């Protein structure tokens, strides 16, 4: 064993107490679905985890009826202080069961345990803790006195941060006084079901949180349900467009967190060591399956070679493998479908003349894997510079002046995130002003916090999650 080699240190899955079959969570109970079922597998081993119900229109309707009843009879009559206490309870229960949730999330999603343990799960708990405190302070949400809840919220979340996205959706909705019907992604329903157990442990009134599992058809049933007052969706821009069309004319409030093609701008005076770490966390965190990933590196021409060399050296030290191993940096791609998409886009990048470099890693036999990959010599018109790849693939472009960096960064229909690396504060402020993106990280990347609003410009969607803005997305009215 040489330096930088480690003995395997996997987290035990022994602390999980999973069922073989999960139904939906409706009206405070686990209930059987009325349709087919599907299996969730571990993307790192392709081993079966458990079976879940594919929600039908009928299942969704049952969940909406339960949510409406809970809204009318219990939740809307409860004081804000009591709603907050339930949310505080949930935050604490997530903290207590943090390790179990981290293991379950890694098993189901394929991301490294160090990410679920240090980011996903603690942030999910923090989200509930933050919004718990808002529940009895809605008069200060910026909408005037006595703002009202919307009613029943339908929420559809993606597979890249399963429990964290659930928290982003459910915590503000409940704090504002709504009840919810939530659909987790079909490849990652496990932690949502563990969250349902947490709702039971917290003694949350039946029907306040309802979880219906399934794929696109289940999501469509939620979007089209006439008795839902608000839709919140995180996912692809294509699906988001469809939802916006469906809701046209209904007057329902809509929050869309969609795709991105974030620019990470590195000026020549940047602290290069930190920038290299930030570039790597920007695009290889969660295997790049992050809507706000810094997937376009814009590096000032005179430091291009140095930055690329250092990136390659650093990527060479990353460990790809068993996501449950505490020393793993790069886990599995979430699904076969996603792996095929990444593979196809990378092939296109090569065909269009980009120069590909992939880290030399041993790819496990089973499961879905993609080695960290860089493209140099990328033109702004190349597919890998325009399309969201949602994988561990970084496209590197160069610039000479701040104005060129800004123009290239903004040259996308998306507008979710951007990064700026420079030692000069005045330049950071000036560049940040000009970037058309909802979240900008200066000398850091991929930082999230419940107090910090998150969401996009342009085709990255509308509405914000997190902070006071994320609360008002679930409120209406208010007297100024």
Partner 1 sequence: MSRLAVPKTYKLFIGGKFPRSESGRVYEILSTKGDFVANAALASRKDLRDSVVAARSALSSWSGATAYNRGQVLYRIAEVLEGRRAQFIEEIVSVEGATAAAAAKQVDDAIDLWVWYAGWADKYTQVAGNANPVSGPYFNLSVPEPTGVVAVIAPQASGSLLGLVSVIAPVLAGANTVVAVPRFDAPLTAISFAEVLATSDVPSGVVNIITGKPAELAPWFASHADVNALDLAGAGDLDWVDLQIAAAETLMRVLPPVEGVPAASLARITAFTETKTVWHTKSLI
Query: 257, 388, 459, 465: which is the annotated catalytic residue?
Result: 257
Q: Is 305 a binder of partner 1 (CB under 8 A)?
A: no
Q: Is 444 a binder of partner 1 (CB under 8 A)?
A: yes
Q: Is 442 a binder of partner 1 (CB under 8 A)?
A: yes
Q: Is 223 a binder of partner 1 (CB under 8 A)?
A: no
Phi, then psi, of 101 in degrees rounded to 5:
-65, -40
Shortest Å, Cβ 141 to partner 1: 11
Q: Is 447 a binder of partner 1 (CB under 8 A)?
A: yes
Neighbours of 426 (CB within 10 A): 8
- Output the DSSP codes for 367-400: S-----EEEES--TTSHHHHS---SSEEEEEEES
3-class SS of residue 62: helix
Q: Is 416 a binder of partner 1 (CB under 8 A)?
A: no
Name which of 364 and 478 has its Cβ closer to partner 1.
478
Name which of 144 and 353 has its Cβ closer to partner 1.
144
Tell which residue, 290, 379, 294, has the closest CA to residue 331. Answer: 290
CA distances from 401 to 201, 339, 353, 407 (A): 57, 36, 25, 10
Q: Is 168 a binder of partner 1 (CB under 8 A)?
A: no
Question: CA 294 to CA 260: how far, in whole Å?
Answer: 9
Name which of 49 and 439 has its Cβ closer to partner 1.
439
- Near partner 1 by CB under 8 A: residue from 22, 75, 441, 474: 441
Q: Is 262 a binder of partner 1 (CB under 8 A)?
A: no
Q: Is 240 a binder of partner 1 (CB under 8 A)?
A: yes
Q: Is 449 a binder of partner 1 (CB under 8 A)?
A: yes
8-state DSSP, 292: T
Query: 105, 186, 291, 459: which is the annotated catalytic residue?
Result: 291
Q: Is 370 a binder of partner 1 (CB under 8 A)?
A: no
Tell which residue, 213, 337, 315, 291, has the closest CA to residue 454. Answer: 291
Q: Is 13 a binder of partner 1 (CB under 8 A)?
A: no
Residue 331 is encoded by which pair of tokens?
């886990």
Name which of 153 and 256 has its Cβ closer to partner 1.
256
- Near partner 1 by CB under 8 A: residue from 15, 145, 217, 248: 248
3-state SS, one letter per residue, for 315-338: HCCCCECCCCECCCCECCCCCHHH
- Near partner 1 by CB under 8 A: residue from 42, 459, 474, 475: 459
**Burial class of 113 by CB neighbour count within 10 A (0 to 12, 13 to 18, 19+):** buried
Residue 368 is encoded by which pair of tokens?
């879905």
Name which of 6 and 140 has its Cβ closer to partner 1.
140
Residue count of the chain: 480
Shortest Å, Cβ 162 to partner 1: 22
Phi, then psi, of 419 in degrees rounded to 5:
-130, 150
Q: Where are the beta strands (DSSP E) in 57-139?
A: none
Name which of 14 and 249 has its Cβ closer to partner 1.
249
Q: Is 96 a binder of partner 1 (CB under 8 A)?
A: no
- Near partner 1 by CB under 8 A: residue from 233, 285, 369, 457: 457
Q: Can you say whether residue 358 is alpha, beta or left, with left for phi > 0 and alpha for psi between -120 and 50 degrees?
A: beta
- Near partner 1 by CB under 8 A: residue from 17, 226, 251, 360: 251
- 365 is a catalytic site residue: no
Phi, then psi, of 38 in degrees rounded to 5:
-140, 160
Name which of 72 and 387 has its Cβ closer to partner 1.
387
- Near partner 1 by CB under 8 A: residue from 85, 241, 312, 386: 241
Among the residue ranges 174-182, 203-211, 248-256, 368-376, the one whose residues contact partner 1 (CB under 8 A): 248-256
Question: CA 11 to CA 8: how far, in whole Å?
Answer: 10
- 291 is a catalytic site residue: yes
- Catalytic residue annotation: 257, 291
Where do contacts with partner 1 occur on this chain (CB under 8 A)?
Answer: 126, 142, 237, 240-242, 244-245, 248-249, 251, 256, 258, 413, 415, 425, 428, 432, 437-444, 447, 449, 451-455, 457-462, 464, 467-469, 480
């Amino acid at each position: 064993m040489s330096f930088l080699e480690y003995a395997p240190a996997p987290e035990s899955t022994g602390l999980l107490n999973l069922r073989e079959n999960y139904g939906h969570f409706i009206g405070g109970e686990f209930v059987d679905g009325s349709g087919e079922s599907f299996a969730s597998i571990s993307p790192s081993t392709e081993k079966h985890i458990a079976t879940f119900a594919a929600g039908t229109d009928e299942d969704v309707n049952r969940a909406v009826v339960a949510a409406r009843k809970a809204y009318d009879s219990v939740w809307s009559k409860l004081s804000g202080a009591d709603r907050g206490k339930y949310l505080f309870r949930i935050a604490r229960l997530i903290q207590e069961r943090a390790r179990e949730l981290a293991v379950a999330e890694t098993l189901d999603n394929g991301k490294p345990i160090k990410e679920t343990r240090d980011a996903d799960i603690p942030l999910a708990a923090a989200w509930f803790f933050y919004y718990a405190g808002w529940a009895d302070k809605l008069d200060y949400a910026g909408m005037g006195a006595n703002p009202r809840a919307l009613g029943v919220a339908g929420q559809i979340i993606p597979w890249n941060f399963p429990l964290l996205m659930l928290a982003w959706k459910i915590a503000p909705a409940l704090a504002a006084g709504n009840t919810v019907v939530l659909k987790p992604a079909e490849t990652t329903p496990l932690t949502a079901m563990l969250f349902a157990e947490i709702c039971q442990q917290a003694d949350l009134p039946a029907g306040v949180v309802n979880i219906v599992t399934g794929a696109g058809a289940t999501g469509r049933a939620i979007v089209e349900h006439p008795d839902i007052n608000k839709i919140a969706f995180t996912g692809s821009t294509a699906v988001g467009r469809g939802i916006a069309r469906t809701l046209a004319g209904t007057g329902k409030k809509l929050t869309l967190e969609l795709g991105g093609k974030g620019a990470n701008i590195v000026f020549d005076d940047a602290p290069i060591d930190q920038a290299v770490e930030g570039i790597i966390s920007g695009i290889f965190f969660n295997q790049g399956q992050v809507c706000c990933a810094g997937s376009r590196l814009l590096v000032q021409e005179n430091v291009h070679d140095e930055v690329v060399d250092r990136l390659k050296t650093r990527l060479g030290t990353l460990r790809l493998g068993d996501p449950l191993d505490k020393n793993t940096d790069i886990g599995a791609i979430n699904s076969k479908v996603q792996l095929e998409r990444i593979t196809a886009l990378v092939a296109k990048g090569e065909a269009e003349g980009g120069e590909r470099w992939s880290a030399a890693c041993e790819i496990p036999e089973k499961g879905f894997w993609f080695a960290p990959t860089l493209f140099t010599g990328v033109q702004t018109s190349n597919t890998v510079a325009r399309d969201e790849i949602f994988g561990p693939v970084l496209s590197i472009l160069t610039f000479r002046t701040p104005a060129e960096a800004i123009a290239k960064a903004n040259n996308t229909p998306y507008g979710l995130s951007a990064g700026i690396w420079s030692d000069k504060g005045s330049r950071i402020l000036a560049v940040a002003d000009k970037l058309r993106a909802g979240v900008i990280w200066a000398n850091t990347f991929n930082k999230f916090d419940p107090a910090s609003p998150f969401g996009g410009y342009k085709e990255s969607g509308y509405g914000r999650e997190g902070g006071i803005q994320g609360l008002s997305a679930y409120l209406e009215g208010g007297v100024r």
